[in-house]
Amino acid sequence: MNKSLNHYPGKLGIQQRVLPEYRAGFFDLLAEACEGGLSIFAGDVPLKETIPEASELNVAKYVKSQNYHFSDVASRYYFLWQRGLLDWLEKWDPDVLIVEANPRYLSTNRAIQWMHSRGKAVIGWGLGAPPLEGSRTLGGQFNTFLRNYLRHRLYNQLDAMIAYSHKGAREYRDFLSTHKQIYVATNAVARRPTEISNERPPYFEDRPVVLYVGRIQKRKKIDHLIRTIASLPEELHPELWIVGDGPDRSNMEQLARKIYPKTKFFGIKKGESLSNIYRNADLFVLPGTGGLAVQEAMSYALPVIVAEGDGTQGDLVKPGNGWLIPSDDEEALLETLKIALSAPERLRKMGKDSFRIVHDEVNIEQMVSIFIEAINHSAARNTS
């Protein structure tokens, strides 16, 4: 047991659709803080998604579910059923259960009922509840109505909520018909860094390095990044490093060869190989939606340019350490890159502020602390 963390004396269960590799460190650290242990219930990643999946956990237990997907996960008509959820609950018998706060996971309601019938608490964890965008057809309107109904039903059954961001917490609050405790555990994948791993000089030794790390798919807008960097004045041209893989990689490689040959694709990198890439970069850019690599980049004292998306970016990116830009706005990206790359000394100062934010505010130790607070409070309320 890590005595430096707050702890929970009971057994914890967590339901997830899948167990991505980037969550393994968090779940193991959370398991250290649970005296009764932690068991994760999650299924395989569908082949179409190609999310790097954790094969095992070092501290937490991992029980595989059999996931049945109805439609594609990106579709507004997507639903999920997880077979074996109640069997897992019977065997593990957690004192508190945390579920993904996704109303399209139809089996979750049975898990909540199982826990509540035994006087035990259930906490929802999720991104938020952004407005639904449905078509104006009768079928589209019915789908929006149904999803909003399922949201209300799920959220109001839960004993507490944990949101990825303050924006997500506000969205959950708008949906709750009764007062519930809502916690904000800002999304993180990196542990609290102990020191800046390398001090960058207040100038660029050669061309600056602009870095992207993440999935290579259309919604990440990597094509925007390549085109925008190609349109920079020659004296500001950086090297562009792209780390990751995905269904759009070959298209992006072809585009880069055609309009910006100073682009290097590294593929998937992990461990010390990835650390070295971060240490040798000067600026991290996330031009599209989502991307937990922002927090990891900040732990290496990198300033960041991030497109506004799901709300988690606002808790990470502040005027002192980077720029938030509108999504799908190549002109805003161009102007921001010009500002960033024209002042290396300012970039170094912003990078140090990135490091401070990750050290003091946004890291998986802080996430664990918020989770333990929510778990203890919810367990105490259900036993009082």
In the chain the first and final C-alpha atoms are separated, in Å, by: 27
| 194 assigned to some structural domain | no
182-to-28, 112, 123, 132, 291 alpha-carbon distances in Å = 23, 18, 10, 21, 23
The pLDDT tens digits of the residues spanning 78-134 come to 999 999 999 999 999 999 999 999 999 999 999 999 999 999 999 999 999 888 776
Looking at the structure, tell me whether residues 139 and 74 fall in a common domain: yes
Length of the chain, in residues:
384
Q: Which of 111-115, 146-150, 207-211, 223-227 bottoms out in mean pLDDT, i.e. has the lowest?
A: 146-150
137 compared with 304, residue with greater pLDDT? 304
Looking at the structure, tell me whether residues 333 and 373 fall in a common domain: no
Residue 302: burial class (beta carbons within 10 Å; 0-12, 13-18, 19+): buried
382 compared with 276, residue with greater pLDDT? 276
Q: What is the pLDDT of residue 3?
A: 42
The pLDDT tens digits of the residues spanning 15-28 come to 999 999 999 999 99
Residue 181 has pLDDT above 60, yes or no: yes
Looking at the structure, tell me whether residues 325 and 376 fall in a common domain: no
Q: What is the pLDDT of residue 95?
A: 97
Looking at the structure, tell me whether residues 125 and 223 fall in a common domain: no
Looking at the structure, tell me whether residues 108 and 89 fall in a common domain: yes
Q: For the domain that residue 254 is a member of, what is the CATH number?
A: 3.40.50.2000
| 5 assigned to some structural domain | no
Residue 292 — very low, low, confident or very high, per pLDDT cuts 50/70/90?
confident
- Domain range holding 153? 12-188+363-383
Number of domains in the chain: 2
Looking at the structure, tell me whether residues 73 and 128 fall in a common domain: yes
| 204 assigned to some structural domain | no
Mean pLDDT value across the chain: 91
Q: Which residues lie closer than 8 Å to 134 by C-beta, 6 or more apart?
A: 76, 140, 141, 143, 144
| 200 assigned to some structural domain | no
| 213 assigned to some structural domain | yes
Residue 311 — very low, low, confident or very high, per pLDDT cuts 50/70/90?
low
Looking at the structure, tell me whether residues 24 and 60 fall in a common domain: yes
Residue 242 near residue 260, CB atoms below 8 Å: no
183 compared with 56, residue with greater pLDDT? 183
Q: How many CB atoms lie within 10 A of CB 276?
A: 13
Looking at the structure, tell me whether residues 173 and 225 fall in a common domain: no
The pLDDT tens digits of the residues spanning 29-83 come to 999 999 999 999 999 988 777 778 898 899 999 999 999 999 888 788 899 999 9
Residue 1 has pLDDT above 60, yes or no: no
Looking at the structure, tell me whether residues 228 and 349 fall in a common domain: yes
Mean pLDDT of 174-181: 80
Q: What is the pLDDT of residue 183?
A: 96
Residue 19 near residue 40, CB atoms below 8 Å: yes
